[in-house]
Protein backbone atom coordinates (compact mmCIF):
# COMPACT_ATOMS: atom_id res chain seq x y z
CA UNK A 1 0.00 0.00 0.00
CA UNK A 2 1.46 3.33 -1.08
CA UNK A 3 1.52 6.25 1.32
CA UNK A 4 -0.19 9.37 -0.02
CA UNK A 5 1.03 12.76 1.16
CA UNK A 6 -1.72 15.37 0.96
CA UNK A 7 0.63 18.29 0.26
CA UNK A 8 2.26 16.46 -2.67
CA UNK A 9 -1.14 15.35 -3.96
CA UNK A 10 -2.46 18.91 -3.98
CA UNK A 11 0.70 20.43 -5.46
CA UNK A 12 0.98 17.88 -8.27
CA UNK A 13 -2.65 18.20 -9.26
CA UNK A 14 -2.55 21.98 -9.04
CA UNK A 15 0.36 22.04 -11.48
CA UNK A 16 -1.46 19.62 -13.79
CA UNK A 17 -4.65 21.69 -13.72
CA UNK A 18 -2.68 24.88 -14.24
CA UNK A 19 -1.18 23.48 -17.44
CA UNK A 20 -4.52 22.08 -18.65
CA UNK A 21 -6.29 25.41 -18.09
CA UNK A 22 -3.43 27.29 -19.75
CA UNK A 23 -3.74 25.02 -22.78
CA UNK A 24 -7.52 25.58 -22.81
CA UNK A 25 -7.02 29.34 -22.70
CA UNK A 26 -4.50 29.24 -25.53
CA UNK A 27 -6.37 26.98 -27.93
CA UNK A 28 -9.70 28.78 -27.45
CA UNK A 29 -8.07 32.24 -27.64
CA UNK A 30 -9.72 33.16 -24.35
CA UNK A 31 -7.95 35.57 -22.05
CA UNK A 32 -7.62 34.54 -18.43
CA UNK A 33 -6.17 36.40 -15.50
CA UNK A 34 -3.46 34.73 -13.45
CA UNK A 35 -5.51 34.84 -10.25
CA UNK A 36 -8.45 33.13 -12.00
CA UNK A 37 -6.07 30.57 -13.50
CA UNK A 38 -4.67 29.79 -10.06
CA UNK A 39 -8.20 29.64 -8.60
CA UNK A 40 -9.30 27.10 -11.22
CA UNK A 41 -6.16 25.05 -10.68
CA UNK A 42 -6.71 25.11 -6.92
CA UNK A 43 -10.35 23.99 -7.25
CA UNK A 44 -9.29 21.07 -9.43
CA UNK A 45 -6.53 20.19 -6.97
CA UNK A 46 -8.94 20.12 -4.02
CA UNK A 47 -11.22 17.78 -5.96
CA UNK A 48 -8.27 15.42 -6.34
CA UNK A 49 -8.78 14.49 -2.70
CA UNK A 50 -11.29 11.96 -4.02
CA UNK A 51 -8.29 9.65 -4.36
CA UNK A 52 -8.66 9.09 -0.60
CA UNK A 53 -12.16 7.66 -1.03
CA UNK A 54 -12.90 3.98 -1.63
CA UNK A 55 -13.02 2.86 -5.24
CA UNK A 56 -15.84 4.74 -7.00
CA UNK A 57 -18.00 2.89 -9.59
CA UNK A 58 -17.14 3.86 -13.16
CA UNK A 59 -20.50 5.52 -13.94
CA UNK A 60 -20.43 7.57 -10.74
CA UNK A 61 -16.79 8.49 -11.35
CA UNK A 62 -17.58 9.75 -14.88
CA UNK A 63 -20.42 11.94 -13.58
CA UNK A 64 -18.23 13.23 -10.74
CA UNK A 65 -15.38 14.08 -13.12
CA UNK A 66 -17.79 15.84 -15.50
CA UNK A 67 -19.02 18.02 -12.63
CA UNK A 68 -15.49 18.69 -11.40
CA UNK A 69 -14.42 19.71 -14.91
CA UNK A 70 -17.32 22.14 -15.20
CA UNK A 71 -16.62 23.68 -11.80
CA UNK A 72 -12.91 23.99 -12.62
CA UNK A 73 -13.57 25.73 -15.94
CA UNK A 74 -16.15 28.04 -14.36
CA UNK A 75 -13.74 28.93 -11.54
CA UNK A 76 -10.99 29.77 -14.03
CA UNK A 77 -12.94 31.59 -16.76
CA UNK A 78 -15.95 32.91 -14.87
CA UNK A 79 -19.42 33.44 -16.32
CA UNK A 80 -19.52 32.97 -20.09
CA UNK A 81 -22.16 32.66 -22.76
CA UNK A 82 -23.52 29.14 -23.12
CA UNK A 83 -21.76 28.37 -26.41
CA UNK A 84 -18.48 29.84 -25.22
CA UNK A 85 -18.58 27.88 -21.95
CA UNK A 86 -19.32 24.63 -23.82
CA UNK A 87 -16.33 25.31 -26.07
CA UNK A 88 -14.04 25.94 -23.09
CA UNK A 89 -15.38 22.88 -21.30
CA UNK A 90 -14.91 20.64 -24.36
CA UNK A 91 -11.33 21.79 -24.94
CA UNK A 92 -10.52 21.31 -21.25
CA UNK A 93 -11.89 17.75 -21.38
CA UNK A 94 -9.93 16.99 -24.54
CA UNK A 95 -6.73 18.28 -22.92
CA UNK A 96 -7.51 16.21 -19.82
CA UNK A 97 -8.09 13.03 -21.85
CA UNK A 98 -4.86 13.66 -23.76
CA UNK A 99 -2.93 14.03 -20.52
CA UNK A 100 -4.67 10.97 -19.06
CA UNK A 101 -3.68 8.94 -22.10
CA UNK A 102 -0.03 9.84 -21.59
CA UNK A 103 -0.17 8.93 -17.90
CA UNK A 104 -1.87 5.58 -18.60
CA UNK A 105 0.73 4.82 -21.26
CA UNK A 106 3.50 5.47 -18.75
CA UNK A 107 1.67 3.31 -16.22
CA UNK A 108 1.48 0.29 -18.54
CA UNK A 109 4.91 0.69 -20.09
CA UNK A 110 7.00 1.42 -17.03
CA UNK A 111 4.74 0.92 -13.97
CA UNK A 112 6.69 3.50 -11.94
CA UNK A 113 6.56 2.86 -8.22
CA UNK A 114 5.94 6.50 -7.37
CA UNK A 115 2.93 6.83 -9.69
CA UNK A 116 -0.58 5.99 -8.48
CA UNK A 117 -3.91 6.30 -10.32
CA UNK A 118 -7.10 5.90 -8.32
CA UNK A 119 -10.60 7.23 -9.01
CA UNK A 120 -9.08 8.86 -12.12
CA UNK A 121 -6.79 10.97 -9.92
CA UNK A 122 -3.07 11.01 -10.59
CA UNK A 123 -0.65 10.94 -7.66
CA UNK A 124 3.10 11.19 -8.20
CA UNK A 125 5.31 10.96 -5.14
CA UNK A 126 7.92 13.61 -5.87
CA UNK A 127 10.23 15.55 -3.64
CA UNK A 128 9.57 19.32 -3.53
CA UNK A 129 12.74 19.99 -5.55
CA UNK A 130 11.82 17.51 -8.29
CA UNK A 131 8.26 18.88 -8.35
CA UNK A 132 9.64 22.37 -9.01
CA UNK A 133 12.04 21.05 -11.67
CA UNK A 134 9.35 19.06 -13.51
CA UNK A 135 6.91 21.95 -13.28
CA UNK A 136 9.50 24.30 -14.77
CA UNK A 137 10.20 21.83 -17.59
CA UNK A 138 6.48 21.43 -18.34
CA UNK A 139 5.94 25.19 -18.28
CA UNK A 140 8.88 25.85 -20.62
CA UNK A 141 7.68 23.14 -23.00
CA UNK A 142 4.20 24.65 -23.01
CA UNK A 143 5.55 28.13 -23.70
CA UNK A 144 7.66 26.84 -26.59
CA UNK A 145 4.61 25.14 -28.13
CA UNK A 146 2.61 28.33 -27.61
CA UNK A 147 5.28 30.42 -29.32
CA UNK A 148 5.62 28.08 -32.30
CA UNK A 149 1.86 27.73 -32.72
CA UNK A 150 1.34 31.45 -32.25
CA UNK A 151 3.85 32.35 -34.96
CA UNK A 152 2.21 29.88 -37.30
CA UNK A 153 -1.29 31.13 -36.68
CA UNK A 154 -0.55 34.81 -37.20
CA UNK A 155 1.31 34.25 -40.44
CA UNK A 156 -1.43 36.08 -42.36
CA UNK A 157 -1.64 39.25 -40.30
CA UNK A 158 -3.95 41.30 -42.53
CA UNK A 159 -7.61 40.38 -42.86
CA UNK A 160 -10.99 41.86 -43.73
CA UNK A 161 -12.97 43.15 -40.77
CA UNK A 162 -16.74 43.71 -40.91
CA UNK A 163 -18.58 45.39 -38.04
CA UNK A 164 -22.34 45.69 -37.73
CA UNK A 165 -23.92 48.21 -35.36
CA UNK A 166 -27.43 49.69 -35.40
CA UNK A 167 -28.06 48.66 -39.05
CA UNK A 168 -24.77 50.31 -40.11
CA UNK A 169 -22.01 48.20 -41.62
CA UNK A 170 -18.30 48.94 -41.71
CA UNK A 171 -15.95 46.86 -43.83
CA UNK A 172 -12.23 47.64 -43.62
CA UNK A 173 -8.79 46.07 -43.64
CA UNK A 174 -7.42 45.14 -40.25
CA UNK A 175 -4.20 43.82 -38.77
CA UNK A 176 -4.05 40.88 -36.39
CA UNK A 177 -2.00 42.26 -33.53
CA UNK A 178 -0.55 39.91 -30.91
CA UNK A 179 0.32 43.00 -28.88
CA UNK A 180 -3.31 44.06 -28.55
CA UNK A 181 -4.36 42.57 -25.22
CA UNK A 182 -6.98 45.20 -24.38
CA UNK A 183 -10.20 44.06 -22.72
CA UNK A 184 -13.28 45.98 -21.59
CA UNK A 185 -12.81 46.20 -17.79
CA UNK A 186 -16.28 45.10 -16.67
CA UNK A 187 -17.05 42.29 -19.12
CA UNK A 188 -13.45 41.25 -19.88
CA UNK A 189 -14.46 41.11 -23.57
CA UNK A 190 -11.74 41.63 -26.21
CA UNK A 191 -11.36 45.04 -27.84
CA UNK A 192 -10.75 45.94 -31.47
CA UNK A 193 -9.04 49.31 -31.89
CA UNK A 194 -10.09 51.43 -34.89
CA UNK A 195 -9.06 54.85 -36.10
CA UNK A 196 -11.70 57.51 -35.39
CA UNK A 197 -12.23 58.54 -39.00
CA UNK A 198 -12.72 54.98 -40.26
CA UNK A 199 -15.24 54.16 -37.52
CA UNK A 200 -17.23 57.40 -37.65
CA UNK A 201 -20.38 56.24 -39.45
CA UNK A 202 -20.99 53.21 -37.20
CA UNK A 203 -20.02 54.80 -33.88
CA UNK A 204 -22.74 56.07 -31.49
CA UNK A 205 -22.75 59.86 -31.42
CA UNK A 206 -21.98 60.14 -27.71
CA UNK A 207 -18.95 57.86 -28.08
CA UNK A 208 -17.58 59.58 -31.17
CA UNK A 209 -18.03 63.10 -29.80
CA UNK A 210 -16.57 62.35 -26.38
CA UNK A 211 -13.09 63.46 -27.35
CA UNK A 212 -14.30 66.53 -29.24
CA UNK A 213 -16.75 67.93 -26.68
CA UNK A 214 -15.07 69.22 -23.55
CA UNK A 215 -17.97 70.64 -21.54
CA UNK A 216 -18.33 69.00 -18.14
CA UNK A 217 -22.13 68.96 -18.34
CA UNK A 218 -22.00 66.95 -21.57
CA UNK A 219 -19.41 64.52 -20.31
CA UNK A 220 -21.20 63.81 -17.07
CA UNK A 221 -24.46 63.13 -18.92
CA UNK A 222 -23.19 60.35 -21.18
CA UNK A 223 -23.23 57.43 -18.77
CA UNK A 224 -23.51 55.00 -21.67
CA UNK A 225 -19.91 55.58 -22.74
CA UNK A 226 -17.47 52.91 -21.63
CA UNK A 227 -13.72 53.23 -21.54
CA UNK A 228 -10.79 50.93 -22.08
CA UNK A 229 -7.55 51.73 -20.24
CA UNK A 230 -4.42 51.39 -22.34
CA UNK A 231 -0.71 51.73 -21.84
CA UNK A 232 1.93 51.97 -24.55
CA UNK A 233 5.34 53.40 -25.25
CA UNK A 234 3.68 56.65 -26.28
CA UNK A 235 1.77 56.99 -23.02
CA UNK A 236 -1.40 55.78 -21.35
CA UNK A 237 -5.03 56.81 -21.02
CA UNK A 238 -8.62 55.80 -21.75
CA UNK A 239 -10.20 54.94 -25.10
CA UNK A 240 -13.99 55.43 -25.53
CA UNK A 241 -15.65 52.27 -26.81
CA UNK A 242 -18.96 50.61 -27.64
CA UNK A 243 -20.16 47.04 -28.01
CA UNK A 244 -20.51 45.78 -31.58
CA UNK A 245 -23.65 43.85 -32.52
CA UNK A 246 -21.78 41.50 -34.83
CA UNK A 247 -18.19 41.18 -35.96
CA UNK A 248 -16.95 39.21 -38.99
CA UNK A 249 -13.31 38.38 -39.65
CA UNK A 250 -12.73 37.34 -43.25
CA UNK A 251 -16.54 36.89 -43.48
CA UNK A 252 -16.54 34.45 -40.54
CA UNK A 253 -18.79 35.47 -37.66
CA UNK A 254 -16.91 35.98 -34.39
CA UNK A 255 -18.57 34.00 -31.59
CA UNK A 256 -17.39 36.40 -28.87
CA UNK A 257 -18.74 39.69 -27.59
CA UNK A 258 -16.43 42.38 -28.94
CA UNK A 259 -16.00 46.04 -28.06
CA UNK A 260 -14.83 48.68 -30.52
CA UNK A 261 -12.48 51.34 -29.16
CA UNK A 262 -11.63 54.57 -30.97
CA UNK A 263 -8.10 55.88 -31.16
CA UNK A 264 -6.38 58.74 -32.91
CA UNK A 265 -5.87 58.16 -36.64
CA UNK A 266 -2.16 58.83 -36.27
CA UNK A 267 -1.75 55.64 -34.20
CA UNK A 268 -2.97 53.38 -37.02
CA UNK A 269 -1.12 53.71 -40.30
CA UNK A 270 -0.48 51.64 -43.38
CA UNK A 271 -2.84 49.41 -45.35
CA UNK A 272 -5.16 48.76 -42.42
CA UNK A 273 -7.50 50.81 -40.25
CA UNK A 274 -7.95 48.55 -37.22
CA UNK A 275 -6.05 46.29 -34.83
CA UNK A 276 -7.63 42.94 -33.97
CA UNK A 277 -6.48 41.04 -30.86
CA UNK A 278 -5.11 37.63 -31.71
CA UNK A 279 -7.21 36.01 -28.97
CA UNK A 280 -10.55 36.44 -30.80
CA UNK A 281 -9.52 34.45 -33.88
Q: 45 lies in a domain? A: yes
**SS3 label, residue 229:** strand
What is d(CA 267, CA 280) in angstroms, rounded to the nearest whole number? 21
The per-residue pLDDT for range 60-81, each reduced to its tens digit, is: 777 888 888 889 899 988 888 7
Predicted confidence at residue 216, as pLDDT, reads 46
Domain with 75 in it: 6-153
Predicted confidence at residue 141, as pLDDT, reads 65
Predicted confidence at residue 163, as pLDDT, reads 93
What is d(CA 25, CA 34) in angstroms, rounded to the nearest whole number? 11
What is d(CA 233, CA 82) in angstroms, rounded to the nearest whole number? 38
Domain identity same for 43 and 70: yes
Q: Which of 49, 91, 54, 50 lies closest to 69 in space, CA to CA?
A: 91
Q: 231 lies in a domain? A: yes
The per-residue pLDDT for range 190-221, each reduced to its tens digit, is: 999 998 888 888 988 888 877 654 444 455 55
Predicted confidence at residue 220, as pLDDT, reads 52
Q: 129 lies in a domain? A: yes
Domain identity same for 162 and 236: yes
Predicted confidence at residue 248, as pLDDT, reads 93
CATH of the domain at 221: 2.40.70
pTM tops 0.85, yes or no: no
Domain identity same for 16 and 146: yes
Total residues found in the chain within this entry: 281
Domain identity same for 189 and 145: no
What is d(CA 149, CA 31) in angstroms, rounded to the nearest whole number? 16
Low-confidence ranges of the chain (pLDDT < 70): 1-5, 29, 51-52, 99-156, 211-224, 232-235
Predicted confidence at residue 230, as pLDDT, reads 81
Q: 120 lies in a domain? A: yes
Looking at 153, 182, 213, which one is the last position of a domain? 153
Domain identity same for 57 and 176: no
Domain identity same for 108 and 184: no
Domain identity same for 168 and 228: yes
Domain identity same for 149 and 173: no
Count of structural domains, the chain: 2
Looking at 153, 187, 222, which one is the last position of a domain? 153
Looking at 153, 187, 214, which one is the last position of a domain? 153
Q: 221 lies in a domain? A: yes
What is d(CA 172, CA 194) in angstroms, rounded to the nearest whole number? 10
Q: 117 lies in a domain? A: yes
Q: Which residues contact 60 (CB under 8 A, 6 or more apart)?
A: none
Domain identity same for 198 and 276: yes
Domain identity same for 200 and 180: yes
Q: 110 lies in a domain? A: yes
Domain identity same for 75 and 209: no
Predicted confidence at residue 191, as pLDDT, reads 92
Predicted confidence at residue 132, as pLDDT, reads 60
Q: 1 lies in a domain? A: no
Domain identity same for 10 and 147: yes
The DSSP-derived string for 166-206 is TTEEEEEEEEEETT---B-TTT--BEEEEEHHHHGGGS-HH
Amino acid sequence: MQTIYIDILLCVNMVINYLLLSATSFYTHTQIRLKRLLLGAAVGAVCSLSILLPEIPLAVNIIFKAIVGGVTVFSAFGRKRKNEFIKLYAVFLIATFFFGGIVIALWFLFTPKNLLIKNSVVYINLSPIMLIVYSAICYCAFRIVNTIAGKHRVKNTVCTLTIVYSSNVLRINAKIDTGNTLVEPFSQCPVIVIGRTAAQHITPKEVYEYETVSTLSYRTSINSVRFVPFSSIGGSGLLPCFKAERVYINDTLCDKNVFIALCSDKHIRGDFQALIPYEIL
